[in-house]
């Protein structure tokens, strides 16, 4: 495979952009090698600047539920652009978008649009703090909620000691207000809640985690979490930036059958453009300016192009109820193919899958939380990644990321991927 142009672009990019990329995981640091510069995408495929074609299982890290550049989203964008790109004044499509979102997600009675998932989660925590008059919140080790300061905290040593920043530039003050619990472990939550009685504004969680590999919350755990929040007056936030409209029509909250107080969205709801949203109970959302005192704003929020693309995506889902059955069938086919390969090769690597998002961990032990996920052999993942890439399969360049499939993936794509998977696992033994 010739990637000369990608190599020279990467050298050039590094002179002007830190690390040559505008988001760190794109640099291939955890798997080694040279990142590919992409020229175009169509359906299930991406083509790099050297003309190599790949079956893409990243889908821009989640948004491309219908594959790259679907005609109906392109049409919606072209139509919107005729009227202009931004007005900084209300437009009718923002109402349509809010109506459709609240209809698809019944726990969400009011919603505000923002420009990224990070903005959505950051704002959700702020409004929860404003609503409760409390300052601390709980997040789970291994869950990702974007890069706002308050989320870049990991557990310190010992269950009740303070968290520590995961990045320079994040203050100890932030670390003091962010408490860390263990995914799927209700006792770790209870300890924090009772040790910080009447001080916790919110608990935020990915109900299907997608940023420490893929894993689902246990039913009993999420139910107890809901109960604790009700008893203690804590705002329960589901971060559905990745899972919203990915794992089902009603998001992960439909699958786990629990209603959060607030939800956050992003990725799919932008149809490939930069969009986020947060929303939930009316009494909480009405704390936000200009109705209430909690400040939140955005020059380009509700941008007409982003709304056109996002609305087209959601409307397609709304009008095609069998959509997720088709996706599930494809995802199941791929998973079965992988499992078959693994049993033929005597390597029972752990696979978690929820709908069209999945992850094969390079460990043979059960993966249910951060601690079990990090048992994976990341060096072996790097080898697997490059074997797959050389056979034209583009996977996430890091072990703890999801593999996404879209409706554009064909049976031929999946068969080719299953064959490449067999070869790759065989070659890296």
Ligand X SMILES: *Cc1c(COP(=O)(O)O)cnc(C)c1O
Residues with active-site annotation = 144, 239, 267
To ligand X, the closest distance from the beta carbon of 269 in angstroms equals 10
To ligand X, the closest distance from the beta carbon of 292 in angstroms equals 24
Report how far apart, in Å, the C-alpha atoms of 169 and of each of 55, 125, 209 are.
38, 20, 26
Which residues in 3-157 belong to E strands, given as ranges?
A: 38-42, 45-48, 53-56, 110-114, 136-140, 153-154
**Cα 234 to chain centroid, rounded:** 24
- Site residues, ligand X (CB under 6 A): 116-118, 121, 144-146, 206, 210-211, 239, 241-242, 266, 276
To ligand X, the closest distance from the beta carbon of 79 in angstroms equals 25
Q: Could you give the strand order of the β-sheet that contains 235-239, starting from the edge strand earlier in sequence?
A: 110-114, 276-280, 262-265, 235-239, 200-205, 136-140, 178-181
The whole-angstrom separation of Cα 275 and Cα 263 is: 14
To ligand X, the closest distance from the beta carbon of 245 in angstroms equals 13
- Report the residue number, 63 or 67, with the smaller CB distance to ligand X: 63
Q: Of all residues in this chain, which one has the CB nearest to ligand X in the complex?
A: 117
Three-state DSSP at 53 gives strand
- Report the residue number, 41 or 266, with the smaller CB distance to ligand X: 266
CA nearest 399: which of 366, 373, 425, 426?
373
First CA to last CA distance, the chain = 23
Largest CA distance in the chain: 61
- Report the residue number, 52 or 116, with the smaller CB distance to ligand X: 116
- Report the residue number, 26 or 259, with the smaller CB distance to ligand X: 26
Q: What is the DSSP letter of 162?
A: P
Which residues lie below 8 Å from residue 215, measured CB to CB, with a gap of 6+? 183, 184, 208, 209, 352, 359, 367, 368, 369, 373
- Report the residue number, 396 or 420, with the smaller CB distance to ligand X: 396
The whole-angstrom separation of Cα 260 and Cα 129 is: 16
- Report the residue number, 78 or 297, with the smaller CB distance to ligand X: 297
Q: What is the DSSP letter of 19?
A: G
The whole-angstrom separation of Cα 363 and Cα 369 is: 13
To ligand X, the closest distance from the beta carbon of 115 in angstroms equals 8
To ligand X, the closest distance from the beta carbon of 268 in angstroms equals 11
The whole-angstrom separation of Cα 295 and Cα 287 is: 9
What element of type H or E holds 202? Answer: strand 200-205
């Amino acid at each position: 495979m010739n990637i000369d142009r990608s190599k020279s672009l990467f050298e050039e990019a590094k002179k002007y952009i830190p690390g040559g990329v505008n988001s760190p995981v794109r640099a291939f640091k955890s798997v080694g090698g040279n990142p590919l510069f992409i020229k175009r995408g169509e359906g299930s495929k991406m083509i790099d600047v050297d003309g190599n074609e790949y079956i893409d299982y990243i889908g821009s890290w989640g948004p491309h539920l219908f594959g790259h550049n679907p005609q109906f989203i392109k049409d919606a964008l072209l139509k919107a652009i005729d009227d202009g790109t931004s007005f900084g004044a209300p437009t009718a499509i923002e109402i349509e978008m809010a109506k459709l979102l609240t209809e698809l997600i019944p726990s969400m009675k009011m919603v505000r649009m923002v420009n990224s998932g990070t903005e959505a989660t950051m704002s959700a925590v702020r409004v929860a703090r404003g609503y409760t008059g409390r300052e601390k919140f709980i997040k789970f080790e291994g869950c990702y909620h974007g890069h706002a300061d308050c989320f870049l905290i990991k557990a310190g040593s010992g269950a009740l000691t303070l968290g520590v920043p995961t990045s320079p530039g994040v203050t100890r003050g932030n670390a003091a207000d962010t408490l860390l619990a263990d995914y799927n472990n209700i006792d770790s939550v209870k300890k924090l809640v009772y040790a910080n009685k009447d001080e916790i504004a919110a608990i935020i969680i990915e109900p299907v985690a997608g940023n420490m590999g893929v894993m689902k919350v246990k039913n009993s755990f999420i139910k107890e979490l809901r109960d604790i929040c009700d008893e203690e007056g804590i705002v329960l936030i589901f971060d559905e930036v990745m899972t919203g409209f990915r794992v089902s029509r009603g998001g992960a909250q439909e699958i786990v059958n629990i209603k959060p107080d607030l939800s956050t969205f992003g990725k799919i709801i932008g149809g490939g453009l930069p969009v986020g949203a947060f929303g939930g109970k009316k009494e909480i959302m009405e704390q936000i300016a200009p109705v209430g005192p909690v400040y939140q704003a955005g020059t380009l929020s509700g941008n007409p192009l982003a709304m056109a693309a996002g609305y087209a995506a959601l409307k397609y889902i709304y009008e095609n109820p069998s959509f997720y059955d088709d996706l599930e069938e494809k995802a199941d086919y791929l998973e079965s193919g992988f499992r078959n390969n693994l049993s033929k090769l005597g390597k029972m690597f752990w696979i978690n899958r929820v709908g069209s998002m999945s992850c094969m961990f390079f460990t043979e032990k059960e993966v249910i939380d951060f601690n079990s996920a990090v048992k994976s052999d990341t060096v072996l993942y790097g080898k697997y990644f490059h074997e797959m890439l050389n056979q034209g399969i583009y996977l996430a360049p890091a072990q703890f990321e999801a593999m996404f499939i879209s409706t554009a993936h064909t049976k031929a794509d999946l068969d080719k991927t299953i064959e490449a998977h067999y070869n790759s696992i065989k070659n890296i033994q």
